[in-house]
C-alpha cells in the first residue's frame, strides 16, 4: 500500500475530548474519528487492526467447534419482557416504535435472540451440544461514554453461546471457551488477569472476567496478598479477602476485555427452550455465554503498547508489518530502491506500507513513530552509496544497518525474534 493512496489523517495534537493515552493516540494516529458522543468512525488503519483482531478470534473460536452466524441488531421488546431484562437494563436499552407500532430496540446483547432461534430448531438431545457465535455491533445508551472505545454507545463485540443438556456439558464448554480466550488475548499481545466476577443482569451463578491492568482502566481488580485470590470490582469497603478471610486486598485499575458466564437455565426457562432426552422427557437447555469487547481491545492494546512518540503495535495485529520510508523521495535512485524493496518484501509475504509522500524527513519520521508499525526500513542517498539500508525496531528503538542484499532475510529473522 502507498501512503499517498490511503486515508491516514494524522494529527499533531489530540482533541480536547480525548482523556486517556489510548484515546489520544487512536485519534492522532488516524484510526478513528468521533461522530457524536460515544460513536466513532473506523478509518482504514483502525479497520485493519479491527479485522486482524477479528481474524484471530475466528480462528480460535472455530478451533473449539463453535459456528459463526450473524443475528439481527433490531430486536422486538417482547423478547426482553420474557426475561425481565427490559426493566433491568432500563434507559441503557435504546428503544423505539416502528411505523407499524411495534416496540423495538437496538441489541445491546443477544441472549434473548439466540435463545429464540435455538428454541425453534433444537428439540432433541441428539442436537446438543451446540456453540454459536457472532462478531457484531452492539448499542447501549451509556449515561457517560468515556475513554474513546473503552466505553462507547456503539461498539463491536464477539458473543458466543453454548447449549447443553446438563451442567457437566456446560462446564466442559465453559472451560473450552476459557482456554480459547487465553489464547486469543495472548496472540493479540495482551497479558491478562482472570478474576471471579458478579454475573449481574446476565444471570447464572459462575462468571469470570478477563482484565488488562492499566492506569486508565475504568474497572478495579482486587488481589489478595495472602492466598492470591483475584476479584473484579470489589466493594470499596471490602478490604479483606472473601476466600481466606485473612489477607488484605490490594487494588489496581483495569480494562475489562472479556466476560464469560455459566447462565444455566435462566433464558431457556423464560423462553421455553427445551429438548427431549432419550426417554422422551422434556428439559430446559443449559446455556453459557461468552463475550469479548473487540473494539475495546484496540484501546487496551494501545494502553499497554505506547511511548511518548506514539503507538507500538504487536506484530499480529499491526495494520502493516513494515514501513518503507524513503527520506529523499525526489531522488530517482532512492525512489527506485524504495519501490524495489516494496515489491521484494510484498512478494515475500510481508504486509508493507510505502511512504511515498513528498514531505520532509522530519514529518515522515514523526508519523512513522505515531502509527507504530513494528519495523521501519529507511532508505536514503548516503546508505545506498554504501549498499546499506537502515532497519528500526519500533518497540526497542534499536537501529540496524543492514546489507542491501540481505534485507528480507534480516526482517524475517527480526520478526522471529520479537514474536
What is the model's pTM? 0.95
CB 356 within 8 A of CB 2: yes
pLDDT higher than 90, residue 236: no
Cβ atoms within 10 Å, residue 303: 23
For the record, the C-alpha cell of 276 comes out as 427431549
Strand partners, 34: 40
CA–CA separation, 387 vs 403, rounded Å? 6
CA–CA separation, 49 vs 54, rounded Å? 9
Element (H, E) at 139: strand 130-139
pLDDT value of residue 180: 98
Q: What is the pLDDT of residues 330-344, one digit of tens each?
A: 899 999 999 999 999
Question: What are the helix (H) ranges across 192-288?
Answer: 266-271
Q: What is the pLDDT of residues 363-385, one digit of tens each?
A: 999 999 999 999 999 999 999 99
For the record, the C-alpha cell of 318 comes out as 499491526
Q: What is the pLDDT of residues 182-225, one digit of tens each?
A: 999 999 999 999 998 877 767 778 899 999 999 888 899 988 88
Side-chain half-sphere CA neighbours of 244 within 13 A: 12
Cβ neighbours of residue 9 closer than 8 Å, sequence gap 6 or more: 30, 33, 43
Report helix, strand or coil for 40.
strand
pLDDT higher than 90, residue 115: yes
pLDDT higher than 80, residue 239: no
Q: What is the pLDDT of residues 10-32, one digit of tens each?
A: 999 999 889 899 999 999 999 99
Gyration radius from the chain CA atoms: 25
CA–CA separation, 168 vs 267, rounded Å? 18
CA–CA separation, 217 vs 215, rounded Å? 6
pLDDT value of residue 196: 87
pLDDT higher at 206 or 162: 162
For the record, the C-alpha cell of 175 comes out as 472451560
pLDDT higher than 70, residue 237: no
Closest CA to 54 of 108, 134, 130, 109: 134
pLDDT value of residue 242: 74
Length of the chain: 419
pLDDT band at 243 (very low <50, low <70, confident <90, very high): confident
pLDDT value of residue 197: 85
Furthest-apart CA atoms within the chain: distance in Å: 83
Amino acid at each position: 500500500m502507498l501512503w499517498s493512496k490511503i486515508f491516514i489523517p494524522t494529527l499533531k495534537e489530540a482533541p480536547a475530548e480525548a482523556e486517556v493515552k489510548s484515546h489520544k493516540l487512536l485519534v492522532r494516529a488516524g484510526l478513528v474519528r468521533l461522530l457524536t458522543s460515544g460513536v466513532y468512525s473506523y478509518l482504514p488503519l483502525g479497520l485493519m487492526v479491527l479485522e486482524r483482531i477479528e481474524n484471530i478470534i475466528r480462528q480460535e473460536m472455530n478451533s473449539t467447534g463453535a459456528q459463526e452466524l450473524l443475528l439481527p441488531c433490531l430486536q422486538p421488546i417482547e423478547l426482553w419482557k420474557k426475561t425481565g431484562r427490559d426493566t433491568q437494563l432500563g434507559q441503557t436499552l435504546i428503544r423505539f416504535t416502528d411505523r407499524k407500532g411495534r416496540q423495538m430496540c437496538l441489541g445491546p446483547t443477544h441472549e434473548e435472540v439466540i435463545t429464540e432461534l435455538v428454541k425453534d430448531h433444537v428439540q432433541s438431545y441428539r442436537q446438543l451440544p451446540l456453540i454459536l457465535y457472532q462478531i457484531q455491533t452492539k448499542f447501549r445508551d451509556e449515561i457517560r461514554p468515556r475513554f474513546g472505545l473503552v466505553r462507547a454507545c456503539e461498539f463491536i463485540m464477539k458473543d458466543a453461546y453454548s447449549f447443553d443438556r446438563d451442567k457437566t456439558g456446560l462446564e466442559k464448554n465453559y472451560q473450552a471457551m476459557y482456554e480459547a480466550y487465553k489464547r486469543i488475548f495472548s496472540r493479540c499481545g495482551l497479558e491478562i488477569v482472570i478474576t471471579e466476577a458478579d454475573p449481574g443482569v446476565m444471570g447464572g451463578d459462575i462468571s469470570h472476567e478477563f482484565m488488562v491492568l492499566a492506569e486508565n482502566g475504568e474497572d478495579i481488580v482486587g488481589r489478595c496478598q495472602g492466598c492470591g485470590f483475584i476479584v473484579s470490582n470489589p466493594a470499596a469497603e471490602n478490604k479483606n479477602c472473601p476466600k481466606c478471610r485473612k489477607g488484605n486486598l490490594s487494588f489496581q485499575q483495569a480494562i475489562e476485555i472479556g466476560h464469560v458466564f455459566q447462565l444455566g437455565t435462566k433464558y431457556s426457562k423464560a423462553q421455553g427452550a427445551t429438548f427431549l432426552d432419550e426417554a422422551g422427557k422434556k428439559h430446559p437447555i443449559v446455556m453459557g455465554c461468552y463475550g469479548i469487547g473487540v473494539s475495546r481491545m484496540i484501546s487496551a492494546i494501545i494502553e499497554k503498547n505506547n511511548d511518548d512518540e506514539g503507538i507500538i503495535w504487536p506484530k499480529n495485529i499491526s495494520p502493516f508489518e513494515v514501513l518503507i520510508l524513503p527520506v529523499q523521495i525526489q531522488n530517482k535512485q532512492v525512489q527506485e530502491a524504495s519501490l524495489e524493496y516494496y515489491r521484494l518484501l510484498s512478494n515475500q509475504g510481508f504486509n508493507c506500507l510505502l511512504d511515498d509522500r513528498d514531505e520532509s524527513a522530519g514529518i515522515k519520521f514523526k508519523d512513522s513513530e505515531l502509527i507504530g508499525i513494528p519495523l521501519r526500513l529507511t532508505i536514503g542517498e548516503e546508505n545506498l552509496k554504501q549498499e546499506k539500508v537502515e532497519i528500526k525496531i519500533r518497540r526497542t528503538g534499536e537501529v540496524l544497518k543492514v546489507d542491501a542484499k540481505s534485507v528480507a532475510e534480516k526482517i524475517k529473522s527480526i520478526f522471529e525474534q520479537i514474536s
